Structure 1
Amino acid sequence: MGMSINTNLSALNTYRNLNATQNDLSKSLEKLSTGLRINRAADDASGLTISEGLKSQVGGLTVAARNAQDGISVVQTAEGGLTETHSILQRMRDLAVQAGNDSNNADSRQAISTEVSQLTDELKRISSSTNFNGISLLDGKNPSLKFQVGANGDANSQIEVNLAGADISKITTALNSATTSGGTFFKIDDVTAITAGTQQFTATKGGDVSTVTTAALGTFTSVDSYAAALNKDAAFSDNFTATVVKDADGKATGINVRSLNGGAVGVTAPNAGVAAGDNTAGVTTGVKFDTAAHAQAAISLIDDQIKSVSTARANLGAIQNRFDHAINVTNVAKENLTAAGSRITDVDMAQEMVKYTRDNILSQAGTSMLAQANQSTQGVLSLLR
C-alpha cells in the first residue's frame, strides 16, 4: 500500500467504528437512565405494539378495581338503610303482637298506633335520604345500577345491581293506613284453581287503559300466598297492588286489587273459584291496631315486608361477594399483565451495564486509536527533508 496524505483510510475506519461505539454507548446510557428497553418505536416496533396494548389493559383494570370497590360502597350504603328498616319492622311487629291482646284499652292501642306512625315516617325518611353520591338507592328511582368491573367494552365487563327489591317507599305505602278508592274485591273460593289458569286485570282511568296478564305464578295454598305472588310479579306491581281481605274472624276471603293510577279495576276470564265483586267500595289498606283482628292482619302484612327486606338484603350480600371476587380477579389479571409488559419493556440493568462498560472501554480505545491513526501519516514529512 502506498503512502498518501489526502486519504487516511486507517483514520476513517477508526472514526467509523468509534461512531458506532458512541451510538451504542448513548443508547445504553438512555436505557440505564430510564430503566426501559424500549424508549422509542425504533428500539422494538413489534414489542412497542404489544406493550402499549398491555398498558391499556393494566390501566383499565386499575380503574375497574376502583369501580368495583365503589360498587361495594354503594351496596353497603343500601344495606345500611335496609338493616335499619329491618329493625324498624321488627319493632312494628312486636307492637302488632302486643296490640293483638284485648287487655289493651283504647288509649293503649292509640299509643301503639302513634309509635308505629312515627316509625313509618322514619321509614319514609330513610327511603328518601339513603343515597350515594347523590344517587337515590332505596326510593325506587334507580331500580338498577351498572358497574364497570372489567377493562373491556363488553357485557362481561359489567355487573348490574338490582335495587328494585330494596324500594322502601313500597313498604311505607303498604304500611300506611288509609281508605282508597278504585279497588275491586275478588272473592276467592278455591285458591288452588288459580294455579291452572291466567288472570287478566284491567285498569281504566280517563280513557287510559292498562292491562296486565298474570300467568300461573306457582302453586298457592292460601289467599295470602296468591296476593304475595301477584305483588312480587313485576308486570302486576307496576300497575296494581293486591291486599288480602279478611272477615271478622281473621279468615282471608279474597283480595282487593287497586290500580296505581286510581282507575276502575276489571278482570277478564277469571279463574275457577274467583268472582269479582263490588268495584266502588273503598278499601282500608295498611296497618291498624284498633282491634285484635286488625292487629293480626297487621302482623301478616309486616311479616310480608320483613320477608321482602330479607330477600333484598340477601341479594345485596350476594352482589357484594361477587364484587369481592371481581376485585380479586381484576388484581390478579393486572399483576400478570404488568409482569408481561415488564418483560417486554423493562431493561435488564445488569446486562445493559455490562454492555455499557464494554462500549465505554471501546470508546476510549477508539479515541486513542484515532489519535494514533492521525499520526500515522506524519512519516511522510521525513521524505520531504
Structure 2
Amino acid sequence: MARADFTRIATNIGALNALNSLKNVNNQLAIHQQRLATGKRINSPADDAAGWTISSTLSLKSTGLGVALDNIGSAKNLMSVAEGHLTNIRDILAEMKAKAQQAANDTLGTDERAAILAELQDYNTQINSEVAQATWSGIDILSTDKNFQIGVGTSTSEELTFNVAEFVWSNGTNTTFNSAGLDVTASSSTVRTAATTTTTATLNIGFGATPLDTSANLNSLAGELETGHYTVEISSDGAGSGTNTITITVRDGNGDLVTIDADGAASGAVGTSLSTTFAGSGTNPAAVNLGVGIVIDLANVATGAAGSGVMHVDYAQGGQAVDTMANAQAFMDQIDTALENVNDGLTYIGNQVNRLTFQEQSLTVAKLNTEASYNQIMNADMALEQLEATKLTILQQTATAMLAQANAAPQGVLSLFQ
C-alpha cells in the first residue's frame, strides 16, 4: 500500500487508501449480510466453485432418496389394501367352513341344508366383491398377475420387485368353490302349443353370477337339490309328433359364456350352447361335457300329455354342494385349501412389508447422512456470520471516519503560505 505524503496535494494517497479499505469492508459486509439473509454459505458458484458442485450433487441425491422413500410408502399402502381385503376373505372363508361343518350333520333336513347353501352362495358373492374392490391405481391387485417394480434408490439398478401373483385370487385356479352350487332360474310363463307344433326353448344356467332369465317358452321349471345335482323338470303341454328343441347356455363365475364340447371330448370345443331335440314319441337322450367340469344330461324324454325331460347338472370342479355329509366334508376340504392360499398370501404380504420397512430404514439413514453433508458445505454458520457482520459494520464506520480525515489532511499545507 502506498504511503500518504501530505506535502503533495495533487493526489491524496491517504484518502485513496481509506476509500479502498472502505470498499473492501463494504464488499465483505455484503457477503455476510447475504448469508445471514439466505442462511446459505454458498449463494453462487463464485462463492465456492468446488463446494457448489459437491453440494449440488448431494442435493440431487437427497431428492432422489426422498422420492424412493415415497415409492416405498406407496408400495406399503398397496400392500395394506391387499392385506385388508385378504383378511376379509379369510374371515369369510372361516365362516363358510363353519357353515359347511354345520351342514355335515345328517340330522339336518333338505330345507336346512338349502338354507346353508344360500348363505354359502352369499358369502361367495362377497368374496368376489372383495376381489373386485381390491384395486390400486386402477390395477386389480388380487386377480391380476402383475410384477410391481419400484425405485428404492438414486439409480436404475436400485429397485425392488414384488409379484402380486403370489397371492392372486383366480376363479378355478387357487380356489375350487367358485359358487357353492348352481343358480338356476327360468320364466314361469305358460305357452300353449298344438301337439304337432315345433317349439324351441332356451334355458340359461348361470353359476357364480346372477342367474340369467330364460325365454317364455318353458311351461314350468322346478329346481331341487338331489344327490349333488340340480334337477330341472321341463314339462310339455301336449302329446304328438311335434319337435321341441331345448338350447342350453352356460356361463362361468364371471358371467361369461363357457365353451362346450359337443361330443364330450376333452378338446375341440365348438360353441357355447347345446341343443337337443325330443319329439312327441320315443326317447332321445343326450349328454355334453362343459369345459369347467359340468356335465349336463338330457334323458327320459317321453311322449304323453305331460311328458317331461329331466336334466341333471353335475358341478364337478366349479363348486360343491352340501346336500350330504360327504359333500359338506368335501367342501370343507376345499375351504381349507382356499384358507391356505389366503394365509400364504398374507404371509407373502407380511414378508414384503418387512422387506420394504428395512429398505425404508436404510434409505432414511442414507438421506440423513446426505443432508448432513449438504448442510456442512452449503449452509451458513449463523453465529459466525453474525459475528463477522458485526465486526465489518464497525470497520465500515471507522473506514468512513478515516476517509473523512484523509480528505481533510492536505489542508495543512495552506499554513505554509500564511
For 2:266 and 2:30, the matched residues in 1 are separated by 86
Q: Report the counterpart of residue 38 of structure 2 in structure 1.
A: 34
Question: In the TM superposition, what is the alpha-carbon distance from 1:99 to its structure 2 partner?
Answer: 2.4
Q: Report the counterpart of residue 123 of structure 1 in structure 2.
A: 127
Structure 2 unaligned spans of 5+? 183-227, 229-257, 268-287, 294-315
Task: In structure 2, give the amino acid aligned to 1:162.
Answer: N
| Alignment pair present for 1:374 and 2:407 | yes
Q: Report the counterpart of residue 92 of structure 1 in structure 2.
A: 96
Q: Report the counterpart of residue 154 of structure 1 in structure 2.
A: 156
| Alignment pair present for 1:109 and 2:140 | no
Match 1:22 to one of 12, 20, 26: 26
For 1:37 and 1:66, the matched residues in 2 are separated by 30
Kept in 2, the 8 Å contact 1:58–1:337? The answer is: yes
Q: State the SS of the aligned residue for 2:105.
A: coil
For 1:73 and 1:64, the matched residues in 2 are separated by 14
Kept in 2, the 8 Å contact 1:127–1:167? The answer is: no
Q: Report the counterpart of residue 309 of structure 1 in structure 2.
A: 342
Q: State the SS of the aligned residue for 2:149.
A: strand
Larger radius of gyration: 2
Kept in 1, the 8 Å contact 2:175–2:338? The answer is: no
Q: Report the counterpart of residue 137 of structure 1 in structure 2.
A: 141
Question: In the TM superposition, what is the alpha-carbon distance from 1:371 to its structure 2 partner?
Answer: 1.2
Kept in 2, the 8 Å contact 1:93–1:299? The answer is: yes
Question: In the TM superposition, what is the alpha-carbon distance from 1:340 to its structure 2 partner?
Answer: 1.0
Task: In structure 2, give the amino acid aligned to 1:366.
Answer: A
Q: Report the counterpart of residue 165 of structure 1 in structure 2.
A: 166
Q: State the SS of the aligned residue for 1:147.
A: strand
Kept in 2, the 8 Å contact 1:165–1:308? The answer is: no
Q: Report the counterpart of residue 73 of structure 1 in structure 2.
A: 77
Kept in 1, the 8 Å contact 2:321–2:327? The answer is: yes
| Alignment pair present for 1:320 and 2:323 | no
Q: Report the counterpart of residue 360 of structure 1 in structure 2.
A: 393
Q: State the SS of the aligned residue for 1:335.
A: helix
Show CA shifts across 1:349-369 (max 9, x none): 222223222222222221111
| Alignment pair present for 1:348 and 2:399 | no
For 1:287 and 1:155, the matched residues in 2 are separated by 49
Question: In the TM superposition, what is the alpha-carbon distance from 1:18 to its structure 2 partner?
Answer: 1.6
Q: 1:144 to 1:2 in 2, by over 3 A?
A: closer
For 1:169 and 1:36, the matched residues in 2 are separated by 57
Match 1:59 to one of 59, 63, 66: 63
For 1:40 and 1:261, the matched residues in 2 are separated by 72
Kept in 2, the 8 Å contact 1:123–1:168? The answer is: no
Q: 1:25 to 1:144 in 2, by over 3 A?
A: same
Task: In structure 2, give the amino acid aligned to 1:342.
Answer: N
Question: In the TM superposition, what is the alpha-carbon distance from 1:97 to its structure 2 partner?
Answer: 2.3
Task: In structure 2, give the amino acid aligned to 1:19.
Answer: K
Task: In structure 2, give the amino acid aligned to 1:41.
Answer: P
Question: In the TM superposition, what is the alpha-carbon distance from 1:262 to its structure 2 partner?
Answer: 7.0
Kept in 2, the 8 Å contact 1:120–1:172? The answer is: no
Task: In structure 2, give the amino acid aligned to 1:377.
Answer: P
Kept in 1, the 8 Å contact 2:117–2:180? The answer is: no
Q: Which has the higher contact order (CA 8 A, sep 6+)?
A: 1
Kept in 2, the 8 Å contact 1:136–1:142? The answer is: no
For 1:57 and 1:126, the matched residues in 2 are separated by 40
For 1:89 and 1:347, the matched residues in 2 are separated by 62
Identical columns (%): 34
Q: State the SS of the aligned residue for 2:94.
A: helix
Kept in 1, the 8 Å contact 2:55–2:374? The answer is: yes
For 1:31 and 1:378, the matched residues in 2 are separated by 42
Under a length normalisation based on structure 1, what TM-score does the superposition of the two structures give? 0.69
Q: 1:265 to 1:16 in 2, by over 3 A?
A: farther
Q: Report the counterpart of residue 332 of structure 1 in structure 2.
A: 365
- Taking only aligned residues, the RMSD between alpha carbons, in angstroms, comes to 2.6
Q: State the SS of the aligned residue for 1:39.
A: coil
For 1:261 and 1:16, the matched residues in 2 are separated by 97
For 1:329 and 1:261, the matched residues in 2 are separated by 53
Question: In the TM superposition, what is the alpha-carbon distance from 1:154 to its structure 2 partner?
Answer: 1.9
Q: Report the counterpart of residue 288 of structure 1 in structure 2.
A: 321
Show CA shifts across 1:190-228 (max 9, x none): xxxxxxxxxxxxxxxxxxxxxxxxxxxxxxxxxxxxxxx
Structure 1 unaligned spans of 5+? 180-247, 249-259, 267-279
Show CA shifts across 1:222-255 (max 9, x none): xxxxxxxxxxxxxxxxxxxxxxxxxx9xxxxxxx
Match 2:178 to one of 162, 168, 175: 175
Question: In the TM superposition, what is the alpha-carbon distance from 1:60 to its structure 2 partner?
Answer: 2.2
For 1:29 and 1:79, the matched residues in 2 are separated by 55
Task: In structure 2, give the amino acid aligned to 1:28.
Answer: H
Task: In structure 2, give the amino acid aligned to 1:132.
Answer: W
Task: In structure 1, give the amino acid aligned to 2:70.
Answer: R
Show CA shifts across 1:242-290 (max 9, x none): xxxxxx9xxxxxxxxxxx9878757xxxxxxxxxxxxx74532122112
Question: In the TM superposition, what is the alpha-carbon distance from 1:133 to its structure 2 partner?
Answer: 4.2
Question: In the TM superposition, what is the alpha-carbon distance from 1:30 to its structure 2 partner?
Answer: 1.1
How many residue pairs match? The answer is 291
Kept in 2, the 8 Å contact 1:124–1:168? The answer is: no
For 1:344 and 1:34, the matched residues in 2 are separated by 14
Q: Report the counterpart of residue 185 of structure 1 in structure 2.
A: none
Task: In structure 2, give the amino acid aligned to 1:145.
Answer: F
For 1:172 and 1:118, the matched residues in 2 are separated by 16
Task: In structure 1, give the amino acid aligned to 2:165.
Answer: A
